[in-house]
Structure 1
Amino acid sequence: MAVKTNGFTEGSLPEELWKILLSLASSWGDLIDLNALKVIPLKGAMTNEVYRINWPTQNGDPHRTVLVRMYGEGVEVFFNRDDEIRIFEWLSKHGQGPRLLGRFDDGRVEEFIHGRTLSAGDLRDPEISALVAMKLREFHNLDMPGPKNVALWKRMRNWLTKAKSLCSSKVAKEFCLDTLGEEITMLEKELFRKYQEIGFCHNDLQSGNIMIDEQTQSITIIDYEYASYNPVAFDLANHFCEMAANYHSETPHILDYNKYPDLEERRRFVRNYLSLPGNKPREEEVEQLVQDAEKYSLANHLFWGLWGVISDYVNEIDFDYMEYARQRFKQYWLTKPTLLGS
């Protein structure tokens, strides 16, 4: 009996996907049929639908496994899919993340990484956090081909325009969308620093986008839909803000800012991030980046608040996007006076 998933069933795979799986199986010396497949939906994704697909092998191994990513409806408003694929392929060729195994109209097939995604609690574990910090530094130092311009502010303005075009006047009023353009301009000016480091940022460093191999203790950062060049302080702010979330709970849209990392936790992460073999960072460097990241949390709240508003209209994944947006905007207005002094 076929197992029903949100996107497809074991007995009704898209034809293009089925052809890719047959080709992969043949190249690996396997023979598969629809009755041998197991399709397992993976939880926690909020932009795409993600599945693990298994089938028996011919060489005695228990099963072969690949990951299938079905693109979410309407998410092309957030990023250019061709750019995202280009980034994915480049990272794959340079030893970052899973290999691309095949593409079809509505998604792609990726190498399945044998490890586990981090839990919300893992982000607070000092040893795991140190590994993530070092991996993030490596990620930021990647020399991605193409323009290296900051994408944050233009992207937020585009999202604001889209949000205004989608939502009702009631929602626009509740979230102050008519004044957010001024807020974005103000933040762009207030947060600019001549010394700020620009790097290739992930921009969505939540627990589900970080994997760990517990045998080797190696960290892999996955899912690059939102990746772009930005101030590295914005990426650190994003990671800290994500510690308030637990997307695998019964209420994945609810944020608990009591779990936001305290000052010592943020210092420890930044210290590990800035540390190089034989080179301990100066405390002034640590303090400056901690302060900059804290201010960039404001941009992070607006960024993901706008994402939530738009997603509520374009994405059919079971997630309360509007309530999520409500919490992000609330945190922006709550923390802005303290962080900017006005």
Structure 2
Amino acid sequence: MAVKTNGFVEGIWPEGLRKLLMSLASNWGEVFDVEGLKVVHLSGAMTNVVYRLSWPIKKVDGDDCGGGVRTVLVRVYGDGLDLFFNREEEIRTFECLSEHGYGPKLLGHFKVGRVEEFIYARTLSSADLRDPETSALISAKMRDFHELEMPPPKEPLLWNRLRNWLSVAKSLCSPGDTNEYKLHILEQEITLLEEAISMDHQEIGFCHNDMQYGNIMIDDNDSTITIIDYEYASYNPIAYDIANHFCEMAANYHTDTPHILDYTKYPGEEERKRFIRKYLSSSGKEASETPVDQLADDVERYALANHLFWGLWGLISAYVSHIEFDYKEYARQRFEQYWLKKPEILKGGGGDEMPANSTRDV
């Protein structure tokens, strides 16, 4: 797939990357073998462009190390990402999580990206999320992630981020898109939603906020789960993070139409509660039905916030990203789900509602 960004297109190197790789090889006592370099674009990423780089290991003294291969992951930042999050804060989060033993190690930065340790594990598929054994492993890893002690602020970022993204979307969108996606009433919808679903009993934890299958890896030898890619990570209600994971079960980003969502695949009540029960019981103490039911209810409410979050993300991305993905159609589907599910979930929560059929049906 040709990607119009600072990536390996027609042999063009991202600025500073070759120098960084040469420096890393030197630190390892090796020579960077550019002639033997193999570059593989890893599909499925919608924020950055990701590559696997491999080259034969050659020691400075000339030893070829018996045919060994050095492999790293190169992440080239997508266009316009400064509109979504602060890159310096994201890198600090990455480094902090690495210190906690989470995810890959950061090997270095170049002007438009970074080089990371390559994890020899399998990225999950959309079908893997529905496997009960794999789902139980994910729930336990999420619980572990949420309990991490990360740098402040330890206040939920969700609502401020939604308002900031709405402001950005309004500044970018054409009048036609502003009208079609009803941006003029989303400010009151965000306020309504915040008042309707934010409650004192809800647990706040360090959330990943993008728990799609492509950000979860598994070592099939020992069933170890690794969560990667922390661009959107922040403190938030844990119910929001779980809701995000459930919503991602409607997606398959490795098809000919990766932007199309199938909400018939959204997990049913039994599957949702099974995941939540495993999540709450991961410390070893079996969770009773009351906290399971309460968290399940909260998760369904936060699914609404999730639709607004990724709807705005898709709309902004349509204007700033050059990755081949139909962001507007993706955004339309997320907003449509918000308006469709809001009356059912909030049960007359108020506000000026847009009819569920006000945009084209999926």
TM-score range normalised by the length of the shorter chain: over 0.9
CA RMSD in angstroms comes to 1.4
1:234 aligns with 2:240: yes
The one of 150, 163, 186 aligned to 2:156: 150
1:335 aligns with 2:341: yes
Match of 1:41 in 2: 41
**C-alpha distance in 2 between matches for 1:253 and 1:138:** 30
Match of 2:222 in 1: 216
SS in 2 for 1:223: coil
Offset of residue 29 of structure 1: 3.3
1:225 aligns with 2:231: yes
SS in 1 for 2:258: coil
CA contact (8 A) 1:5 1:40 kept: no
Offset of residue 330 of structure 1: 0.4
- Note the alpha carbon deviations across 1:84-108, whole angstroms, 9 max, x for none: 0000000011100000000011000
Alignment of 1:74-89 (within 5 A): 74-89=80-95
Sort the Cα spacing of 1:182 and 1:4 in 2 relative to 1 into closer, same or farther, 3 A: closer
Sort the Cα spacing of 1:11 and 1:320 in 2 relative to 1 into closer, same or farther, 3 A: closer
Offset of residue 32 of structure 1: 2.6
SS in 2 for 1:299: helix
**C-alpha distance in 1 between matches for 2:282 and 2:253:** 32
Sort the Cα spacing of 1:334 and 1:69 in 2 relative to 1 into closer, same or farther, 3 A: same
1:17 aligns with 2:17: yes
TM-score (norm 1): 0.97
Match of 1:307 in 2: 313
Match of 2:141 in 1: 135
**C-alpha distance in 2 between matches for 1:61 and 1:220:** 29
Match of 1:162 in 2: 168
* AA partner of residue 68 (structure 1): V
Q: Any gaps of 5 or more consecutive residues in structure 1?
A: none
Offset of residue 33 of structure 1: 2.9
**C-alpha distance in 2 between matches for 1:161 and 1:109:** 32
Match of 1:32 in 2: 32
TM-score (norm 2): 0.91
* AA partner of residue 47 (structure 1): T
Match of 1:198 in 2: 204
Sort the Cα spacing of 1:29 and 1:314 in 2 relative to 1 into closer, same or farther, 3 A: same
1:291 aligns with 2:297: yes
1:124 aligns with 2:141: no
CA contact (8 A) 1:11 1:34 kept: no
Offset of residue 15 of structure 1: 4.8
Structure 1 residues 97-106 or 12-21, which shifts more? 12-21
Match of 1:262 in 2: 268
* AA partner of residue 43 (structure 1): S
* AA partner of residue 151 (structure 2): P
Equivalenced residues, count: 340
* AA partner of residue 168 (structure 1): S
Following TM superposition, the consecutive aligned residue runs of length 4 or more in structure 1 with deviations greater than 3 angstroms are 3-6, 9-12
